[in-house]
Chains A and B, each alone.
Chain A
Amino acid sequence: MNRSPDEMGELRAPADASHGLHPATPYTPVFVGARRKELDELLTRYPTKMAALLPALWIVQEERGWVSSDAMAEVADVLELTPAYVKGVVTFYTMYHQHPTAKHFIQVCTTSPCNVCGAEDVVKSFLKHTGCEELGVTSADGRFAVIEVECLGACGFATPVMVNEKYVESVTPESVPEILASLD
Chain B
Amino acid sequence: MGFPHKPSERETLVLSKYFGDPEAIGLDGWRKRGGYVALEKALRMEPAEIVQVVKDSGLRGRGGAGFPTGVKWSFMKPGDGKPHYLCCNADESEPGTFKDREIMRWTPHALVEGCAIGAYAIGAEVAYIYIRGEYTEPIARMEQACREAYAAGILGTNAMGTGRTVHVYVHKGAGAYICGEETALMNSLEGRRGNPRIKPPFPAVAGLFAQPTTINNVETLVAVPHILNNGADWYKKFGRPDNPKSTGTKLFSVCGNIARPGNYEVTMGFPFKDFLYDLCGGPLPGRKFRAIIPGGISVPIQTVEEAENSPMDYEGFVANGTMLGSGGVIVIDDAQNLVKQIARAARFFAHESCAQCTQCREGTAWTTRILERIVAGDGTHEDLDTLLDIADNMTGKTICVLSDSCATPVVSGLKKFRGDFEALIKRKKVHMVPVQVA
Q: Is the CB of B92 within 8 A of A5?
A: no
- Cβ of A84 < 8 Å from any Cβ of B? no
* B257: nearest chain-A partner, CB-CB: A116
For A55, what are the chain B residues with a Cβ–Cβ distance below 8 Å?
A: 171-172
Q: Is the CB of B365 within 8 A of A47?
A: no
* A79: nearest chain-B partner, CB-CB: B191
Given A8, A50, A153, which contacts B192 in the complex, CB threshold below 8 Å? A50
- Cβ of A167 < 8 Å from any Cβ of B? yes
Tell whether A153 pairs with B93 under 8 Å between CB atoms, given A54-B172, A95-B175, A117-B256: yes
**Chain A: number of interface residues, binned into ranges:** 35 or more
CB distance from B179 to the nearest CB of A (A): 9
- Cβ of A105 < 8 Å from any Cβ of B? no
For B263, what are the chain A residues with a Cβ–Cβ distance below 8 Å?
A: 156
- Cβ of A127 < 8 Å from any Cβ of B? no
- Cβ of B358 < 8 Å from any Cβ of A? no
Q: Is the CB of A93 within 8 A of B256?
A: no
Given B171, B255, B365, which contacts A158 in the complex, CB threshold below 8 Å? B255
For B340, what are the chain A residues with a Cβ–Cβ distance below 8 Å?
A: 1, 115
Given A6, A58, A113, which contacts B330 in the complex, CB threshold below 8 Å? A113
For A154, what are the chain B residues with a Cβ–Cβ distance below 8 Å?
A: 98, 101
Given A89, A113, A116, A156, which contacts B191 in the complex, CB threshold below 8 Å? A89
Give residues 21-70 of B contacting A (CB, 8 Å): none
Give residues 68-105 of B contacting A (CB, 8 Å): 83, 92-98, 100-101
Tell whether A115 pairs with B344 under 8 Å between CB atoms, given A50-B191, A153-B101, A155-B95: yes
Bound-state Cα–Cα, A155 to B255, Å: 6
Given B94, B174, B328, which contacts A58 in the complex, CB threshold below 8 Å? B174
Q: Is the CB of B174 within 8 A of A153?
A: no
Bound-state Cα–Cα, A25 to B395, Å: 52
Tell whether A95 pairs with B174 under 8 Å between CB atoms, given A5-B369, A115-B341, A166-B136: yes
- Cβ of B132 < 8 Å from any Cβ of A? yes
Bound-state Cα–Cα, A55 to B169, Å: 12
Tell whether A155 pairs with B134 under 8 Å between CB atoms, given A1-B372, A112-B297, A113-B255: no
Bound-state Cα–Cα, A112 to B352, Å: 14
Give residues 338-384 of B contacting A (CB, 8 Å): 340-341, 343-345, 347-348, 350-352, 354, 364-365, 368-369, 372, 375-376
A145-174 CB mask vs B (1 if < 8 Å, else 0) is: 000001111111110001001110000000
A49-74 CB mask vs B (1 if < 8 Å, else 0) is: 01111110110000000000000000
Tell whether A116 pairs with B93 under 8 Å between CB atoms, given A5-B368, A54-B171, A156-B254: no
Tell whether A5 pairs with B192 under 8 Å between CB atoms, given A95-B174, A117-B256: no
Q: Is the CB of A54 within 8 A of B134?
A: no
Bound-state Cα–Cα, A134 to B305, Å: 41
For A111, what are the chain B residues with a Cβ–Cβ distance below 8 Å?
A: 95, 297, 344-345, 348
CB distance from A59 to the nearest CB of B (A): 11
Q: Is the CB of B253 within 8 A of A48?
A: no
Bound-state Cα–Cα, A93 to B192, Å: 10
A97-139 CB mask vs B (1 if < 8 Å, else 0) is: 0000000000000111101110000000000000000000000
Interface size on B, residues (CB 8 A): 67
For B176, what are the chain A residues with a Cβ–Cβ distance below 8 Å?
A: 92-94
- Cβ of A45 < 8 Å from any Cβ of B? yes
Tell whether A48 pairs with B330 under 8 Å between CB atoms, given A151-B93, A153-B93: no
- Cβ of B402 < 8 Å from any Cβ of A? no
For A2, what are the chain B residues with a Cβ–Cβ distance below 8 Å?
A: 372, 376
Give residues 275-306 of B contacting A (CB, 8 Å): 297
Bound-state Cα–Cα, A8 to B218, Å: 30
- Cβ of A4 < 8 Å from any Cβ of B? yes
Q: Is the CB of B351 within 8 A of A165?
A: no
Q: Is the CB of A153 within 8 A of B97?
A: yes
CB distance from B143 to the nearest CB of A (A): 12
Bound-state Cα–Cα, A53 to B188, Å: 9
Q: Is the CB of B376 within 8 A of A151?
A: no
Listed residue (A53, A88, A112) with the most chain B CB atoms within 10 angstroms of its CB:
A112
* B190: nearest chain-A partner, CB-CB: A51
CB distance from B119 to the nearest CB of A (A): 14
Q: Is the CB of A153 within 8 A of B92?
A: yes
Listed residue (A58, A155, A158) with the most chain B CB atoms within 10 angstroms of its CB:
A155
- Cβ of B177 < 8 Å from any Cβ of A? yes
Question: B interface vs A, CB < 8 Å?
Answer: 4, 83, 92-98, 100-101, 126, 132-137, 167, 169, 171-177, 188-194, 209, 253-257, 261-263, 297, 328, 330, 332-333, 336, 340-341, 343-345, 347-348, 350-352, 354, 364-365, 368-369, 372, 375-376
23 contacts between A and B (CB under 8 A): A1-B343, A45-B167, A46-B209, A48-B190, A50-B192, A51-B191, A54-B188, A89-B193, A92-B176, A94-B175, A110-B344, A112-B330, A112-B341, A113-B95, A113-B256, A113-B297, A115-B341, A116-B333, A151-B348, A155-B97, A155-B330, A162-B134, A165-B136
